[in-house]
Amino acid sequence: MGYRTLIPIGPYHPLQEEAEFFQLYVEGETVVDMEWRTSYNHRGIEQLCTKRTFDQVLFVVERVCGICSASHPLAYVQAVEEIAGVEVPERALYLRTIVNELERIHSHMLWVGLAGHFLGYNTVFMWAWKYREPVLDLLELTTGSRINYANTKVGGVRRDIANEHKPYILKVMDEFEPKLEMLTKAVLDDYILHLRTKNVGILSKEEAKKYCVTGPTVRASDIPIDVRRDDPYAAYDRVEWDVITDDGCDVFGKAKVRLLECFESVKIIRQCVKQMPEGPLETPVKDIPAGEAIGHVEAPRGETFHYVRSDGGPNPVRHKIRAPSFVNVPSFKATCVGQPVADVTIALAAVDPCYSCTERLAVAVDATTKKLRYTFEDLLRLSQEKTERLRKGKEA
C-alpha cells in the first residue's frame, strides 16, 4: 500500500538569495563549522509590548510566529493570569486545549510536507498540505480564522464551540486519522527515506542537554521533556495522552516523534470534545497588579517561554518572549558539523525552525578560501539529487 510517485517537479520552495542566515564552512564535501546571524525578522516586539496595554499585547504576540499562533498568546495569557491571580473556567481550558492541539496537527503536517520537499518527495509535500486543509477548516470553525486565531484572552476565551459543531469536529478527526496513518506508513516505511534520514543529523543526549533544546527535537534524543506533562496547563491533566519519545537521535527519530504526536493530538481533541463541561467562557479581569510571572506552553516546535513583569500600570514593564526555535536552531551546529553538504538541508529542517527562518537558510562557504560555494538553492538541489541517486541505485 502507499502509492508513491517520485517525480522531481523542481524546487518550488520560495527562496531568497544572498541573505545569509547560516554560514556553513565546508572542506571538500563535509561541513566543518557553522555561524548564525539573525536579524532579518527582528521586529522589536518586546519593545512594542511595553507600549501597548495588556490586551493589545495579545494581538502583537500572536504575530510573533504564524505557525505557533495559538501558543504564544496562551503562554502570555497564562503569565498575566498568574500575576492577576485569576482562575480560568473549565470550559475555557478545554477550548484552549482543542485549539492548541489542532495547531499542533497543522504544524506537524506542514513540517512533514516541507521535509518531504527538501528530500525531493514532492508528492509527500502535496499530500501533507492537502490533508492539512480539513484541520484548518476546523480551526476556522472554532475560532473564526484559519491562522491568526485571537481566541485566547486574559481570563478565558473569546469564542465558544456550539453543540451542533461537535459531531462535525469528531467526524473530521475520524476522516483525518486514516489519512494520517497512510502518510505515516508512507514516510516511515520507505527504504530510501531510511537511507536519507537514519544516522543523519544526530543530536546526542549530551549535546541535547548542553544546548537546552526542547520539543520534538529533544524527545527524539530520548529525553522525555514535555511541558504539557511537566507543568500542566489548560486541560492536559484532565485527559489521557502519552509523551512520545524515540532513541534514534537522528532526523528519522524526529520525523517519527512528530508523526506519532499527531495521533496523540487526535486522541486529546476527541476526549476534550466529549468531556467539555458547560459553563462560562471567561472570568472578568479588571486590573493587573504589580508582579512578575512565567507562562510556558508546549508549542509544536518546543517550549515557548514568556516572562511578564507588571508594575500595576496599564502596560507590561517587561515582556520576554523566547520562541522554541531560538534554542533549537543553535543545536544545528552540533548536528551539521561532519555531515556531507547534501544532508544539511534535511538536518536543519528536522530542527523545524519557523518557516521564515528556513527560507533565508544557509549558504556554504569554503573554509579555507572563504568563497561562496553553494547557495541555498544548490544545497536543496544537492539534497534532492542524492535521493534520486539512492533511488536509482536501489532499482538498478
Partner 1 sequence: MVRSMETIATGHPLVQRILDRVGRCIERVREDRPNRVFLEIAPAHNLEVARVLFWDLGARLATISGVDLRDSVEINYHFCFDAEHCVVTVKTWADKPDPHIESLAPIITGAQWVEREINDLIGCTFDHHPGLTRLILADDWPEGVHPLSREYQCPLNREYP
Partner 2 sequence: MSWKLWALKKSPWVYHVNTGACNNCDIEVLELLTPRFDVERFGVMLVGSPRHADALLVSGICTRQAAPRLQEVYRQTPKPCVVFCIGACACSRGIFHDAYHTSPVGPVDEVIKQVDPNAIIMYIPGCPPKPEAMILGVVKALNAL
> Which of partner 2, partner 1, none binds 384 (CB below 5-8 Å, type-dependent)?
none
Distances (CA, A) of 165 to 48, 128, 172, 275: 38, 25, 11, 15
Angle 229-327-197 from CA coordinates, rounded to 5°:
85
Of 64-72, 88-96, 186-194, 199-207, which part binds partner 2 (CB under 8 A)? 64-72
- What is the distance between the alpha carbons of residues 120 and 50, in angstroms, rounded to a whole number? 45
Q: What is the DSSP letter of 87?
A: P
- What is the distance between the alpha carbons of residues 291 and 123, in angstroms, rounded to a whole number? 51
Nearer to partner 1, 63 or 210 (CB): 210
Considering the rule CB under 8 A, would residue 283 count as an interface residue with partner 1?
Answer: no
Considering the rule CB under 8 A, would residue 43 count as an interface residue with partner 2?
Answer: yes
Of 10-18, 96-104, 167-175, 251-259, which part binds partner 2 (CB under 8 A)? 10-18
- What is the distance between the alpha carbons of residues 145 and 258, in angstroms, rounded to a whole number? 24
Q: Is 361 helix (H, G, I), strand (E, B) or coil?
A: coil
- What is the distance between the alpha carbons of residues 216 and 343, in angstroms, rounded to a whole number? 19
Nearer to partner 2, 146 or 238 (CB): 146
Nearest one of 383, 357, 306 to 73, comparing CA atoms: 306
Least distance to partner 1 from the beta carbon of 62, Å?
17
3-state secondary structure 193-257: HHHHHCCCCCCCHHHHHHHCCCCHHHHCCCCCCCHHHHCCCCCCCCCCCCCCCCCCCCHHHHHHH
- What is the distance between the alpha carbons of residues 278 and 354, in angstroms, rounded to a whole number? 36
Considering the rule CB under 8 A, would residue 238 count as an interface residue with partner 1?
Answer: no
Considering the rule CB under 8 A, would residue 63 count as an interface residue with partner 2?
Answer: yes
Of 42-50, 83-91, 152-160, 251-259, which part binds partner 2 (CB under 8 A)? 42-50
Considering the rule CB under 8 A, would residue 13 count as an interface residue with partner 2?
Answer: yes
Least distance to partner 2 from the beta carbon of 185, Å?
20
Q: Residues 311-330: x/- map of binding to partner 1 (CB under 8 A)?
A: ------xx-x-x---xx--x
Q: What is the binding site for partner 2 (CB under 8 A)? A: 10-19, 39-45, 47-48, 51, 59-60, 63-67, 69, 110, 126, 129-130, 133, 146-148, 354-356, 359-360, 377
**Residues contributing to the site for partner 1 (CB under 8 A):** 36-39, 42, 44, 46-47, 51-53, 56, 82, 209-214, 225, 230-231, 291-294, 296, 303, 305, 307, 309, 317-318, 320, 322, 326-327, 330
